[in-house]
Copies of this chain bind each other. A is one copy, B any other.
Amino acid sequence: MVNIAVMGHGVVGSGVVEVILSHKEGVLRHAHEELNIKYVLDLKEFPDSPVADRFTKNFEDIIRDDSVQIVVEVMGGLNPAFDFVKRCLTAGKSVVTSNKELVAAKGAELLAVAKEHNANFMFEASVGGGIPIIRPIYQCLAANNVLEIAGILNGTTNFILTKMIDDHMSFQDALALAQKLGYAERNPSADVDGHDACRKICILAALAFGKHVYPEQVHTEGISNLTLADVAYANAWGGEIKLIGNVKMMDNGQIQIIVCPMLVPNSNLMANIDDVFNGIMVRGDATDEVLFYGKGAGKLPTASAVVADVIDCMKHVDARKYLFWEDNTDPDYVQNYLDNPVAMYVRVRVSDVEAERIRGLFGSINWLACDEAEEGELAFVTPKMAEREIRSKLAQLEEQGAEVKTTVRIADFS
């Protein structure tokens, strides 16, 4: 029998307890051992829980108990999660977490501590909820060099964009609906400003390329300034706007990494991923692209990913898994996003600036037209060039009195 502790009894934590209790047979069949929840750590009380007698408010109960081999951290946030997890690993206990903020900020450090103390640190649930993605990248693609990852990594923003596209709701109305349905928090910034997606692409990039990427290193844009006009122009172009996390390895060993809305052509499967679903495309040199799709959040999907990690830890109590990446101390590892080559959708209020002037600046331009076009506005797609160049040309337009309303990068993953 293996004893575990579950730290945190919120949505995911209560789901973990539920999945373990309702899948006893499957756990036994896979792990060949029984799994016992010895502690649940939470400051609140849950007298109706089937494990009500296991609750503690004191972390020391867990760290001091040598019979606890695996600790599940589903509290969220950096504090005290980081301190607790580090102490567990230092004590040789394996840790499973769904906490993307923790992994994105402290992954390299915690993996090193785990290695030093011969423990496992696992986090399948931190990206893509119930979609298997961490383990497939690490194991199944072990015989591949990953070249690129692109993903719809945040279900809340994908739901909002789907409502804007399919039901012509404004961003504000779609956000309000998402909040009403429980998909978005009262303070929606982590989702709509792209920070959640950023943490996830950082984790995937670290895993794929073996070096930590900190969220602060990633240029991140959200979706809050997109309008129904942009959605209509995207449709006229032949695609949909999606919030994408994208990382590419370059020949010189630097990576391009960005989180931002992108125009995805309808022919790409990613444009067909709607509502709260996530989709993650991994391109390897041998496999070519492989795509993983499913619900990227939710109590039971996320909890089942946590429990799958727990089972894997049970099978590797003695033999540590080799999941690992280095810290990243090279400020040049991430290429400045302004140097990334990109084609850009631009919507601009022209006032006195003439279309001919825009064409003169950018060369060949793909003009877009739609019924929702506002008087005095133009929309177009630039040729591909360094983003810095595009920004400089747009600045010139603004000097002449134009007002750039929206810019959206064109997806160039396959």
- Which residues from B are CB-within-8-Å of A139? 30, 132, 135, 308, 311-312
Q: In whole angstroms, how far apart are the Cα atoms of A288 and B131 in the complex?
A: 10
Q: Given A269-B272, A311-B143, A322-B32, are A304 and B286 neighbors across the interface (CB < 8 Å)?
A: yes
- Kindly supply a per-residue 1/0 record for chain A positions 307-327, scoring 1 wherever the CB is within 8 Å of any chain B CB and 0 otherwise: 110111001000100100000
Partner among B23, B142, B269, B294 whose Cβ is within 8 Å of the Cβ of A143: B23
CB proximity of A302 to chain B, nearest CB, Å: 9
A286 partner, pick from B31, B130, B311, beta carbons under 8 A: B130
Of the listed residues A139, A300, A319, the one surrounded by the most CB atoms of chain B closer than 10 A to its CB is: A139
User: Does A273 lie at the interface of the complex (its beta carbon under 8 Å from any beta carbon of B)?
Assistant: yes
Cβ of A236 within 8 Å of any chain B Cβ, yes or no, is no
Give Cα distance in the complex from A164 to B168, angstroms. 34
Smallest CB-CB separation from A315: which chain B residue? B322
**Given A286-B301, A287-B304, A290-B294, CB of A19 within 8 Å of CB of B143:** yes
Residue-by-residue, is A185-213 near B (CB-CB < 8 Å gives 1, otherwise 0)? 00000000000000000000000001000
Given contacts A269-B269, A294-B287, A132 and B136 within 8 Å (CB-CB): yes
Bound complex: CA of A23 vs CA of B142, how far in Å? 9
Q: How far is the CA of A315 from the CA of B131 in the complex (A)?
A: 24
Q: In the complex, what distance in Å separates the CA atom of A26 from the CA atom of B137? A: 13
* B residues near A106, Cβ cutoff 8 Å: none
Could you tell me which residues of chain A, from 19 to 61, have a CB within 8 Å of some CB in chain B? 19-20, 23, 26-27, 29-32
Q: Which of B31, B292, B300, B322 contacts A290 (CB 8 A)?
A: B292
Are B269's CB and A273's CB within 8 A?
yes
Is the C-beta of A395 less than 8 angstroms from some C-beta in chain B? Answer: no
Query: 1/0 contact trace for A257-299 toward B, CB 8 Å?
Result: 0000000000001001100000000001111111111110010
Given the known A-B contacts A292-B292, A322-B32, are A307 and B141 also in contact in the complex, defined by CB atoms under 8 Å? no
Residues of the B chain whose Cβ atoms lie less than 8 Å from the Cβ of A285: 300
Residue A172 lies at the interface, judged by CB distance under 8 Å to chain B: no
User: A135-156 CB contact bits vs B (8 Å, 1 = yes)?
Assistant: 1101111111100000000000
Judge whether A142 and B311 touch: CB under 8 Å.
Answer: yes
A293–B290 CB distance below 8 A = yes
Looking across the interface, which residue of chain B has its beta carbon closest to that of A293?
B291
Contact of A295 among B29, B287, B298, B303 (CB under 8 A): B287
For A134, give the chain B residue with the smallest CB separation.
B140
Contacts A272-B269, A287-B130; is A26 near B292 (CB within 8 Å)? no
User: Is B142 touching A26 in the complex (CB atoms < 8 A)?
Assistant: yes
Q: Does A305 contact B (CB under 8 A)?
A: yes
Indicate if the CB atoms of A269 and B288 lie closer than 8 Å. no
**Known interface pairs A124-B140, A135-B136, A287-B301; 19 further A-B residue pairs with C-beta atoms within 8 A, sorted by A's residue number:** A19-B143, A23-B144, A23-B145, A26-B142, A27-B142, A30-B138, A130-B286, A132-B132, A132-B139, A132-B141, A135-B135, A135-B139, A139-B308, A139-B311, A286-B300, A286-B301, A290-B292, A291-B291, A291-B294
**Footprint of B on A, CB under 8 Å?**
19-20, 23, 26-27, 29-32, 124, 130-132, 135-136, 138-145, 210, 269, 272-273, 284-295, 298, 300-301, 303-308, 310-312, 315, 319, 322
29 examples of A-B residue contacts, CB within 8 angstroms? A23-B286, A26-B144, A29-B210, A30-B138, A30-B322, A32-B322, A130-B286, A130-B287, A130-B290, A132-B290, A135-B136, A136-B136, A139-B311, A141-B308, A143-B303, A143-B304, A143-B305, A143-B310, A269-B273, A269-B293, A284-B304, A286-B300, A286-B304, A287-B295, A287-B300, A288-B301, A291-B291, A292-B292, A293-B293
